[in-house]
Every structure is written in structure tokens, then in C-alpha cells.
Amino acid sequence: MTTSDADLRLPEGPTGRQIITFAPVDADTATRELRDVAGIERSMPRGLGDDPAAAASGDLYLDLLNIAVVDGDGEQARSLSRAVDDSSSPILAVEPEVWVHPLDTIDAMDAPVLEEEDAEAGTEDEEVDAAEVYADTDTYAWGLKAVRAIPPILSTAPWGGTLMRVAVLDTGIDLDHPDFAHRVVASQSFVAGQPVQDGHSHGTHCAGTAAGAKRPRGTKRRYGVAHRARLVVGKVLSDQGSGASGGILAGIQWAVQQGAQVISMSLGSTVAPGQAYFAYYEQAGQAALNAGSLIVAAAGNNNGPVNAPANSPSILAVAALDQSLMRAPFSCRGLNGNGGEVNIAAPGVATWSSVPVSKGSYGRKSGTSMATPHVAGIAACLAQKTGLRGRALWRELERTAVPLPQPAIDVGAGLAVVPTRRRPVWDYEPVPWRPGPVVDPGEITPVPVPRELR
């Protein structure tokens, strides 16, 4: 052990020697202490002497540092360790000496291992970033996690929009889609000659994000925010994807009359810089708010000023976020004032949701059209929880939004999220402490919580 330079393989770990750290005492006192405590009776060279290399072996007392290095057997080391706790002893610490290597030697020696470790470290770094990047899982679409419809750890999301009505004004819906069985309480087409049945897929996708089932029939992956809300479906855009504002206005009136607390409109027409909002959309937005219906509309996908009708002051404009919760590059910005602001943001890239059965039942789409029904579902959950409607619901949506690092011109008040609650303690099943190997403890009876404490 003491002739390491003769060994071909570099040694590692403890050398077998002990390093004893003394309080500032003179060398005689230290040597006497070593003899009294551990029976070490050896004359030690003091300092490095004539041959510094000798410090690598044998006993040594470094008088400038008040440190002794001694060969000691186990019993002596234990005696010295006991002296550390004795306040009358000048011995402060007893620690084993270890082999030390220059770092480049270790690199050369363990190069392959280190490369592997570096690679692992690299992925770990990426995973730290990846923790902030959302992705679809087997059980939920990423947007639901981002908006907390899939609640964070230690939380529950108990409000699913029960008894709330969410109107989706779009290309209709696939009424035969099994996920929407008994969910559509009213439907009406405002497109001449076309039934509510969705021949495009945009409307079915948006309705799914707003209020898709908690347990979809055809997939394990949940995609709907307000999974208990009722759907009011107005077809204002044709199967070819076009519509006129007259049909949209008629759809808004119908949705208000149907008692929808939230009206989701993933549609719009581009607006030039400096262009004002349309009076009729603003009129409709105000009338809806007065009647207790909040209209949310897509900001638009041309990376320009917020589109109409989202640019109306009384209509909530929704920007789209990517999986890193950054504004999607296509998402329109609050370049025009006077209502043309972005009010809030939600996931709108690679959004997984329902499409008509004839088109495969499920699929992904991107756009502010996909962000808008996220907010509609969130608004329904908030409306259920708080009882707020219209302008008060709008303010509550903005108040509870999570701030984002990007400016309000891009993302408004931030990320819209559903209300969550701290998970109560009795939700947790007791888990036994398991020392060592995992042993199945068998059946464990939970301690019942008295009913009056629930």
C-alpha cells in the first residue's frame, strides 16, 4: 500500500493511514496526546525534513498545519476517534488518508466509462429542459397537462364544467362520434343546405378539446378540458370551411338563447394594421356578456394583428402556445390597440383531439383554433366553480392565468388554467416504511377518517 509508485495500476480509496488534525498546540503536546490516547510511541519527523518524498510513507507530523499522519491499526484509529469527542483533547478530527490522482489521469484511465457518463449527463441536462416541455402521454394530450385539467401532483381538478353549456360555433360536429354520445344538448346549422354533421373536422376537433369525454371510447388518451360540460353546437362554417359573418352573428344569438355560459369561436378574418374592429361583432360581444355568455375567439394564425372577431374589445382573444409554453410562431399578436390585444394564451400546437369517425376518430391539429377551445373549457370550469358569468368570468380568467416569460403583446395575461384544489390528506393511502428489500406487507387497512372531519 505504501509503494504506490511501484504499482502498475493506480490505487484508489483509503491508504490505511490516518490523518489526525490537532488544535493549535506544539508538537510535543501533540505527540504526547498520540501516545496517551492510542499508544502510538514513535518519534515522528517534524515537517518535511530533507526528503519530502518520505512523507508518502511512515509517520509524519506537519507542524505548520498541526496535522499528524500515522500508520494506525483499527484499534488505534478507534481510540483516536473517541478522543475527538473529548473536549479536553486537542485532537479535532481523525480521517482516513485516501489516494488522490490528477484528474487527467483518471480521464485517461476511465475514458470509455466517462464518455458514457458524459452522454448520460448530457441527456440529464436535456431532461431538465424537457421537464418544461410538454408531450402527449398514453393517458392525456399535452395541452390538458399544461392547463392543469390533468392536475399537478398534490392537486385535484374537481371542476369539470358540470351543468355548464359550452357553445362551439364552427363546422359542426360528428354527431355519430361515440365520444360525444349524450354530450350535445343542442345543435343547429346556420349554413344553407348543410346539416350540423361535420364534413370538415375542424369543428369536431375544437368541440373535443373544449368538452371531450374524461374516458374517451376509442382511445386511452384524454383530450377534453371541461369533460362534464354540455355541448351546444352551432354550424356557422361550411364543410368547405367558409362562412359569412351573418351566420356567425346568428350563431351567437342562438348560443346566447341556448344559455351557453361560454361561446367558443375558432374562426376569424385577417385584419390590417391599424384597422378597427367591426361594430357588429362588438355589439354581439357586449350583448353576449350582458346575457352572461363569454365569447372566446382565436387570435389568428397569420402572425399579424389579432383577427376579427377576436379584435373586438368585448371578445376574449386567445393566442397559441407551443409545448414549451412559448408563443407559437404563427400566433397573431396584439399589434392593434382598441380591443386588438391578445387577452390570454393556451396550448395550440400539435393538439390531439377528436375528428370525425370517417377521418380516423382522432388526430392532431395546430393553430389558435386549437388554443381557443382550451380556454372555453377552462372558462366553463371556472364558471362552475365560481358562479361568475360574463365580464366577471373574463376578469377571473385573466386573474388566474399563469404569467409567462413573454410579453403581453404575445400572450396577454398568460397561460389560462383550470381551477385546482390541494389534494386532501385522506386521499392518500398509507404506505408502510419498507427497510431494505421491498416486501409485500399484505393487505393494509387504512385508518378511517371520521365523517365530520371530511
Partner 1 sequence: MTDPDGVGADAASGSGAASGGAGPGEAARVHVSVQGRGVDDAVAELEDAGLEVEQVLDALGIVTGRAAPEAVERMRGVRGVTVEPESEVRLPPPDAPVQ
Q: Is 165 helix (H, G, I), strand (E, B) or coil?
A: strand
Distance of alpha carbon 383 from the chain centroid? 24
| Closer residue to partner 1 (CB): 292 or 419 | 292
Identify whether 28 is a catalytic site residue: no
Identify whether 331 is a catalytic site residue: no
Q: For the chain, how many residues are written?
A: 454
**Rounded-to-integer distance, Cα 368 and Cα 351, Å:** 10
Binding of partner 1 at residue 76 (CB under 8 A)?
no
Q: Is 51 helix (H, G, I), strand (E, B) or coil?
A: coil
Identify whether 87 is a catalytic site residue: no
Choose the stretch contacting partner 1; rule: CB under 8 A; options: 119-127, 145-153, 181-189, 244-252. 244-252
Q: Which of 253, 398, 409, 419 binds partner 1 (CB under 8 A)?
A: 253
**Rounded-to-integer distance, Cα 394 and Cα 382, Å:** 10
Phi and psi (nearest 5°) for 248?
-70, -45
Q: Least separation, in Å, of the C-beta of 265 and partner 1? A: 9
DSSP string, 62-90: ETTTTEEEEE--HHHHHHHHHHHT-TTS-
Choose the stretch contacting partner 1; rule: CB under 8 A; options: 50-58, 69-77, 104-112, 246-254. 246-254
Binding of partner 1 at residue 268 (CB under 8 A)?
yes
**Rounded-to-integer distance, Cα 152 and Cα 422, Å:** 10
| Closer residue to partner 1 (CB): 90 or 339 | 339
The answer to whether 332 touches 320, Cβ cutoff 8 Å, is: no
Binding of partner 1 at residue 333 (CB under 8 A)?
no
Q: Which of 276, 357, 392, 408 binds partner 1 (CB under 8 A)?
A: 276
The three three-digit cell numbers of residue 10, written as one number: 493506480
Q: Which of 66, 76, 187, 201 binds partner 1 (CB under 8 A)?
A: 201
Q: Which of 177, 183, 365, 374 binds partner 1 (CB under 8 A)?
A: 365
Considering 202, 205, 227, 374, which one is annotated as catalytic? 202
Instruction: Report the amino acid identity of residue 177.
Output: H
**Rounded-to-integer distance, Cα 371 and Cα 415, Å:** 10
- Nearest partner of 196 among 239, 246, 150, judged by Cα: 239
Q: Least separation, in Å, of the C-beta of 266 and partner 1? A: 7
Q: Which residues contact 373 (CB under 8 A, 6 or more apart)?
A: 168, 206, 207, 208, 209, 210, 225, 264, 266
Q: Least separation, in Å, of the C-beta of 230 and partner 1? A: 20
Binding of partner 1 at residue 192 (CB under 8 A)?
no
| Closer residue to partner 1 (CB): 140 or 280 | 280
Binding of partner 1 at residue 262 (CB under 8 A)?
no
Choose the stretch contacting partner 1; rule: CB under 8 A; options: 13-21, 149-157, 279-287, 446-454. 279-287
Considering 59, 239, 369, 374, which one is annotated as catalytic? 369
**Subset of 281-320 contacting partner 1 (CB under 8 A):** 282-284, 286-288, 291, 301, 308, 313-314
Q: Is 196 helix (H, G, I), strand (E, B) or coil?
A: coil
Instruction: Report the amino acid identity of residue 34.
Output: L
Q: Exposed, middle or buried, 452 (CB in 10 Å: 0-12/13-18/19+)?
A: exposed
Binding of partner 1 at residue 208 (CB under 8 A)?
no
Q: Which residues participate in catalysis according to the annotation?
A: 170, 202, 369
Which residues are near partner 1 by CB under 8 A? 171, 200-202, 205, 237, 241-246, 248-250, 252-253, 256-257, 266-269, 276-280, 282-284, 286-288, 291, 301, 308, 313-314, 330, 339, 355, 359, 365-367, 369-370
